[in-house]
Every structure is written in C-alpha cells, then in structure tokens.
A and B are shown apart, each in its own frame.
Chain A
Amino acid sequence: MTEAFTEKSPRGDKSAIVLSSRVRVARNLKDMNFRPKMTQDQADECIDRVLEALRGGGDDFRYYPMRGIDPIEKRAMVEDHRISADLFKTDDRGAALISADGRVVIMINEEDHLRIQAFASGLDLETASGLAYRTEDVLEKSLNFAFDEQLGYLTACPTNTGTGMRASVMLHLPLLTAKKNMGQVTQLAAKLGLTMRGIYGEGSEALGCVYQLSNQVTLGKTEHELTDAVSAVAAQIAGMEQEKRLQALREDPVAFEDRISRAIGTLKYARMMDLKEFYPLWSALRVGAAMGRIPMDVRECDALLTAAQDAHLCRAAGRELTDREIREARSAMVRRTIRDRLSSEEDI
C-alpha cells in the first residue's frame, strides 16, 4: 500500500471538488394569480399553457404530473435534485417537464408558476445557465412573464425578484469541515452576497461534507455577474479545500491513506448500512478518487451517492422496501460497485 502511495503523485485537481452546477430561473405568468391565490383551474391552465409554449421548441420534454406519477419515481426525482421537495408536495397542482437528457427540468406550479432549472457536471455554471436560458427563450416566445421595470421578473416570494435566478454549486469539503474552517468559509460567502448550506444529513451536520453555495441576492445584478460571483467563490473555496488535502497528505501520508482504505474496507464488506454510516465513508472514498489514490472517477462516486438514496434503492428493486431491506440493498449495491471498480487489491 505504501508502495502504491509513493508511485502515484497527488494529481487531484481542484475541479474534482465540485460535484455539480445548477441554475434555476423563476418566472410567473403576467395575467394569472401567483401560487398562494391560484385556483385549481388556473393551475391546470398554467400547465396547459407551458406545454403549448414548448410545442415546436425543438427540445424533447417528458411530462410528469405530480398527481399521476409513481410514488417511488417521484421520491427518486427529489433525491436526484431534479424536482424540489416543494413540488413533490403539490399533489394536485404541480408538474415537471424533464428533457430527454435530463439536464433541463421545468417545474410548474411550485412556488412560482415556472422554475426552469438546468444542471451541469462539475464547476460549469456557464453550461447550466446556457441550457436554462435557452429553454426560457423558447417559453418566452409565447408566454408573457410578470415583469416590472424596477423590480425585474416578479416572483411569488419577493426575495427572488429581479433576475429570479439562483446559481448553485455543490462542493465536497471534508477537510475544511474537519479542520473547522466552515464558519470562516460561510462568512466569506456571506460577505459576497452568497449563502452556503450543508446537504445530506440533518440540519447543519452535512454528513457527507457536501455543501451548496448559491447567490442570496437576485436583484440589482445581471445574471452574468451572479453566476460569475458564484463560480469565482466556488473556485476559491475549492482551492482552499485542495490546499488542506495536500497539506494533510504531506503531514501524515499514512493516516491520510488509512482513512481512505478503512472506508473502502467497510464499504466493500459491510452487509447492511444506513445513510448516517454511509455518508462519511462515501466522503473518504471520494477524497481518495479526487486525489488519485484509487482508480475510481469522482463522477462515479457522485453517482454512487445518488444511487445509495432510499428511493433509488426501492426503484432498483422494483418495489417499496422496508427500512431493513433498504439497508441491506444499500450495502449490496455499494459492494458491487466497489468490487467492480476496485477489483485488484493492489489498487487499494
């Protein structure tokens, strides 16, 4: 193992620290009440108008009405971050339109009439933004959006008015978390009008050390300025994390390698596992991948994080599973993946 370590240079580049980028744009129809004052008829009409507006737009979208969709599929969509937990709750009103490649999602009748969101892998808000606004352009050809000269695009919640846009980036920051630097990072973000919050795990715990950085301000700046600010700060934070990783590796390479290897050991041999146990192990695995310590791509690690969620395991099994079955299914899935990727012992 020591040999393997010295042979590999710590190639990890900081782009591997960002999981994904997302741009979400809120729009409302000008002549229709917003969600809090909307009737069921209007909600249905809103869906019809969006579907009509997309017709002939070139892109192929699949339609998912919240009331008709399979419950496992619906929960899996929330786990994927394709739809929000809020849309999930809009049983008789909400709908989602998902592009064939899954990169663009239009949520209808969530908090706003429309939430257009687009995703890109790694730190790439430019691609996400391009996709989101291409879809917005198509919709705007036939829909009149509520707009005010001073306040920009009007949203149901005034905190989103202006651009109605949130650009967010998911970052994996285990070393900054362990070294208790997250308070400092959060402050840095806040100073620049951005917010940082932990995801996966309850409250601020951030069990997988995955954080979401996004713009707080939506008014008074252009979309480019906002995405540039999020990108720049994300790159800076990723740089800080990378520096901490390299430092930890320099200071105590055996301890560094030990943590990764132990995580792999547990992931490879455990027979049942809850998410609380899985997250920190996954986190160590991903550091190993990002730093080139194990022959696994960071994107494969990211896919593993999603696949290990409850509804994804139920979907793979083709039925609802009990809690106990979910824990077993999680271990079985993780074990298979790890064995496929890290088959030879020398690799780990």
Chain B
Amino acid sequence: MLCEECGEREAAVVVTTVINGESTSRNLCRECVKKYQKGGDVSALLAAILSSMYKARGSSGKSCAHCGMTLEEFNKTGMLGCAECYRTFRSELDPMLNRIQGRTQHAGRRPHTDPAAQERGDRIMKLRRAMEAAVSEEAFEEAARLRDELKKLQEGGGEETAKEGAEE
C-alpha cells in the first residue's frame, strides 16, 4: 500500500486517531511520519487526519476508468487526470464550480473544427443573454419563450446540457 500522505512511497506505519469517539486510520510512510515528528508538528498531523476524515465522508471510492485518478487524490491535489475525469467526478465538480465560477455554462470560444457546433454554441449563448436580459427587465413572457427555444436547441444537440435548468 502506498503512503496516503505523499502517495509515492510504501506505507510503513498506521497512525490511528480517535476524535469524539470517531476513529480514523492513516497509512503513512516513514518519511511522512518523520516529517510530522521532526517539527514536533502535532497540529499539522492532526490537520492532515481531520482533512482526510472530512474528505472520506464525501468519498465513495470513485475513480476514473480512463486514467485511474481517484476522488481522494483529486481532493488532495485539486487536479484532474484527464478529460474523462470531468464526467467521472461531475457530481463533485458541479458544486465546486458553482462556488468558484458562479456559472457553469461556457460562453466563450469553442474549437472551430466543427462549424456547425460553433454556430449552435453561438446561438445558445445569444439566446441565454437575451433571456437574462428579458428576466432583468421583468419581461417574463419573452423570457419563457426564449427559455423554450433554448431548451429545444440544447436538446437537439444531445450533449450534457440537461443540467442547464438548475442554474436559472
């Protein structure tokens, strides 16, 4: 088993902590244990354990079938392993993206290898803007009409755009 701290060396020590009756075990390598011991940095070790407990709650042992990235590894580094990871970890990513980005629908440039998709994307963006403008002007009838048109366009294109509604 690899060390849960560095993910590089073989784990040699199991550190078990009991906090409020909840027991957590971490498999660490000698280097990482030493790192904590050297500075006598008990709080750092505690923080590491607490963060692993926190993450473990949301973890389902999920991993990406394409690149092998695990949810745990992603939580630790904040980095994804491949494009496929975005599908694998979508349910974890969405709230995070919402928090950081505010919106979760891309509106910018797109690969122009496919002119049809490009055009469709442009139309989606224009409709979305028009709809937002209608809402802010309280022209709800117009907004509803634009929403339906947007929906039709998005459904027609397949792809994962069903979640759109949640944003409005």
A144–B86 Cα distance when bound, in Å, is: 17
A303 within 8 A of B: no
A159 touches B100 (CB 8 A): yes
B105 touches A150 (CB 8 A): yes
A158 touches B109 (CB 8 A): no
Q: How many residues of A contact B (CB 8 A)?
A: 41
| A33-B82, A219-B104, A220-B102 as given contacts; A144 in contact with B111, CB under 8 Å | yes
B 27-45 binary contact with A (CB < 8 Å = 1; else 0): 0000000000000000000
Interface residues of B in 95-141 (CB under 8 A from A): 96-97, 100-113, 117, 121, 125
Q: Most chain-B Cβ atoms within 10 A of its Cβ — which of A28, A145, A147?
A: A147
B25 within 8 A of A: no
Q: In the complex, what residues of B have CB within 8 A of residue A226's CB?
A: 108
A36–B113 Cα distance when bound, in Å, is: 27
Give the shortest distance, in Å, between B164 (CB) and chain A (any CB): 8
A36 touches B77 (CB 8 A): yes
Q: In the complex, what residues of A have CB within 8 A of residue B97's CB?
A: 151, 158, 161, 219
A83–B69 Cα distance when bound, in Å, is: 28
Residue of B whose beta carbon sits closest to that of A145: B111
- Given contact pairs A36-B81, A140-B111, A145-B111, enumerate 7 new A-B contacts (beta carbons under 8 Å): A34-B81, A133-B109, A151-B106, A157-B80, A159-B100, A219-B106, A223-B108
Ranked 9 nearest A-B pairs via Cβ: A220-B103, A152-B106, A37-B81, A146-B83, A163-B108, A219-B101, A37-B67, A149-B159, A222-B108
Residues of B near any A CB (own CB < 8 A): 66-69, 73, 77-83, 85-86, 93, 96-97, 100-113, 117, 121, 125, 157, 159-161, 163-164
